[in-house]
Amino acid sequence: MLTRRLPSTAAAFSRRWTGLPKLGRTPTSLQSLPVFPNKITLIALCSTAQISAEVTDQPSSKQGALKPGLYLVGTPIGNLEDITFRALRVLKSAHVILSEDTRHSGKLLHHYNIKTPLLSYHKFNESQREQTVLRRLKEGEIVALISDAGMPGISDPGTELAKLCANENIPVIPIPGPSAFVAALSASGLSTDEFTFVGFLSKHSGTRKERLTVSASEATTQIFYVPPHKLLQFLEETSSLFGVTRQCVIARELTKIHEEFWRGTLGEAEQWFTTHQPRGEITVLIEGKEDTPVETPSESQLENELRDLISNGHSLSTAVKLVADGTSVKRKTIYSIALRKFGKQQLVSESDSSDPSKPHRE
């Protein structure tokens, strides 16, 4: 087997290429292949199920046995080759696998020849399953949690169970794996320094509009999961709130055969998808709002604003407050200007109005 011939690597390469023996389509074991000194030795003849068996049946001494706890296992978002060796090992070693859809996950386990029993765990039965799962964890079992695709707890079930385990001092171990929004962001060409992952929006229009209004004003890249039949509605709403010139990237069917990235403005996207109905899983990324430099008003501008307010009957302190509320200049600076320019005038005016010996103008 692979690990017996080359215990530390998947393939051994010589410094020069001297060709490979021609192989037919009949499956060939590694033992039957000749090994040529100073030539490449072919290793990649194992099926994915064989690789799974090698990884899980022969853990290295550094790995050791898995400790009891809740394992949040990332699974492929489309391409089965994106599973990790560590994920395969955990799934095969677990006592039970909590699955969002047992039929869907069963295909993944069958592909890698994993026999661990599945137990349904989704948003409709989370609360009913929690105590049963918690009891098994307290008894020392290894429980793996997977979603239909990606990382559990990220727009998928798992958050509440992880919180419950953390409160009960039960180990929660993440097994990192694929994530649609991270994959889309990395290839989007938009800013990755800071971003906001919103996920799926609410079905209620009022709540959805409130969330989009907040996102529209943020300077960070905004990331959404959008069902294909809701994409046009989403683009209409975001075009209105974000502006039709805001750049966006629409990533579809990531890691799958029909993977696609559409790039343009929100206005262009709305126009395009009006006549092109998309299919598959969709991640939409919208560039953050550009920071427009705030112009600091000059002292003469501040003086004119103060003069207008004071001439209309406002006190000096009220005029200072009103001007400060409408500018980025500190109130202390505006107050200093007001005292210097209008202080004496304001004092005389206030003195006249408070002197009972002087007649009041009607």
CA distance 83 to 88: 7
Residues 141-161 have pLDDT tens digits of 999 999 989 999 888 888 889
Q: Please write down the HEC assignment for all residues of 261-322.
A: EEEEEHHHHHHHHHHCCCCCCEEEEECCCCCCCCCCCCHHHHHHHHHHHHHCCCCHHHHHHH
Question: 329 pLDDT exceeds 60?
Answer: yes
Question: Looking at residue 350, what is its pLDDT?
Answer: 52
Query: Confidence band (pLDDT; 50, 70, 90) for 29?
Result: very low
Share of the chain above pLDDT 70, in %: 77
More confidently predicted of 292 and 275 = 275
Report how far apart, in Å, the C-alpha atoms of 49 and of each of 45, 60, 114, 300 are: 12, 19, 8, 78
Summarize the confidence of residues 291-297 as an average pLDDT: 74
Question: 340 pLDDT exceeds 80?
Answer: yes
Which of 74, 88, 78 minimizes the C-alpha distance to 152? 74
- Angle in degrees, CA 253, 211, 75, rounded to 5: 30
Burial of 126 (0-12, 13-18, 19+ CB in 10 A): middle
More confidently predicted of 338 and 14 = 338
Task: Look up residue 15 and give its two tokens.
Answer: 């410094």
Question: Looking at residue 110, what is its pLDDT?
Answer: 93
Question: Looking at residue 344, what is its pLDDT?
Answer: 61
Edge-first strand listing for the sheet containing 118-120: 118-120, 96-99, 142-146, 69-73, 172-175
Which of 48, 13, 14, 10 minimizes the C-alpha distance to 30? 10
Per-residue buried b or exposed e for 314-350, using 16+ beta carbons within 10 Å of the residue's own CB: eebeebbeebbeebebeeeebbebbeebbeeebeeee
CA distance 104 to 193: 35
Q: Which of 68-77, 105-114, 340-349 has the lowest mean pLDDT?
A: 340-349
Task: Look up residue 238 and give its two tokens.
Answer: 């975001």
Q: Is 200:297 a contact under the CB 8 Å cutoff?
A: no
Question: Looking at residue 49, what is its pLDDT?
Answer: 53
Question: Looking at residue 6, what is its pLDDT?
Answer: 35
Question: Looking at residue 353, what is its pLDDT?
Answer: 54
Question: Looking at residue 362, what is its pLDDT?
Answer: 43
Query: Confidence band (pLDDT; 50, 70, 90) for 55?
Result: low
